[in-house]
Copies of this chain bind each other. A is one copy, B any other.
């Protein structure tokens, strides 16, 4: 996997911290560490000071010494100092504290929705009364909303891999295939096509189970007349895709056809309104409005969508409560759904990149939904 970042990201973070009047931040969330440094291992952290003259410091353990050196160099992060904790030396959090204490700061931001209580306690012991810690949420995440070219290319490639994998296994969507077998083959094809990993545990929910929005695959065998929801994605170079298609095995009943058409029209209506300056809240309302006119808005029991990037669910969140306004280069999903308990459900989802005047679909696999 090639590097896809530049050191500008750390500079952007410093600028943000300056605006917030913060002195330093301890970044423990691995996706944020990866975003800023290119490091992909399972143990790494970053200390960033607002002051222009103080270099950021990257922390890892001896297992990742070689890998982190290669990855930080490839990411143009040569100005980041690297400290490696070793089995018989000071622990990582002790090193973080020592580095923070070397500089004249009074308060250190922590990522409170990531850091474990025991880690904060350890940090607090080392920092004693010299530095206070202060909780923060979403600082680096706010930078991650707007994707650069390399990030968009990675999400586009992840989406293509997922599309191609679905095309390869679509023939298995027939009477006699179990949900589980279909999911295993779909994920295998994504891996064969070059995915780092699947984006999340695929949802394959057939028959009455399609009314469960998060139906994990079971041994249930697909039968003629079933509705099948398939929600899946690939990761490429760390970046996710997310796509849902709903299928009818054989001719749909008039009711299924009606619900499918309605969900599709809600999705297309929202997509026609996606553009820079649209508010997330208004898009959610557009979907609900389409469904409300047919009296099924109460069967749309989740929010409209979410951002996609280094995490499959990230900012911005497209819900009735979101105050966020879209900007160019945001990558989002639009995924209305209608679920009739114990009967069937329909969800249609695409991953899109927001542009100045509209949006571009990244997941492109067709919506040819009737398997005859």
Kindly name the residue among A66, A114, A184 whose own CB sees the greatest number of chain B CB atoms within 10 A: A184
* Chief secondary structure at chain A's binding surface: mixed
Taking the nearest CB of chain B, how far is it from the CB of A352, in angstroms? 24
- Contacts of A164-198 to chain B: CB distance below 8 A: 184, 187-188, 191-192, 197
CA distance A121 to B112 in the complex (A): 9
Taking the nearest CB of chain B, how far is it from the CB of A249, in angstroms? 23
CA distance A320 to B115 in the complex (A): 28
The contact string, 1 if C-beta is below 8 Å from chain B, for chain A 201-245, is 100000000001110000000000000000000000000000000
Question: Which residues of B sit under 8 angstroms from A192, Cβ to Cβ?
Answer: 184
Q: Is A117 an interface residue (CB 8 A)?
A: yes
Q: Please classify how large the interface on chain A is, using the bins under 10, 10 to 19, 20 to 34, 35 or more.
A: 20 to 34
Question: Which residues of B sit under 8 angstroms from A112, Cβ to Cβ?
Answer: 116-118, 121
Question: Which residues of B sit under 8 angstroms from A214, Cβ to Cβ?
Answer: 63
Q: A116 is contacted by which of B113, B188, B191 (Cβ under 8 Å)? A: B113
- Contacts of A101-116 to chain B: CB distance below 8 A: 110, 112-116
Q: Is A135 an interface residue (CB 8 A)?
A: yes
Question: Which residues of B sit under 8 angstroms from A343, Cβ to Cβ?
Answer: none
Q: Is A120 an interface residue (CB 8 A)?
A: yes
Q: A135 is contacted by which of B118, B188, B301 (Cβ under 8 Å)? A: B118
Residue of B whose beta carbon sits closest to that of A133: B117
Cross-chain contact B213 with A63 (CB below 8 angstroms): yes
Given A114-B116, A116-B117, 18 other A-B contacts at CB below 8 A? Answer: A63-B213, A66-B212, A110-B117, A112-B116, A112-B118, A112-B121, A113-B116, A113-B117, A115-B116, A115-B117, A117-B117, A117-B135, A118-B137, A121-B135, A184-B188, A184-B192, A187-B191, A188-B188
Q: Which residues of A approach B to under 8 Å, CB–CB?
A: 62-63, 66, 87, 110, 112-118, 120-121, 135, 137, 184, 187-188, 191-192, 197, 201, 212-214, 301
5 A-B pairs (CB sep. < 8 Å): A63-B214, A112-B117, A116-B116, A117-B120, A188-B191
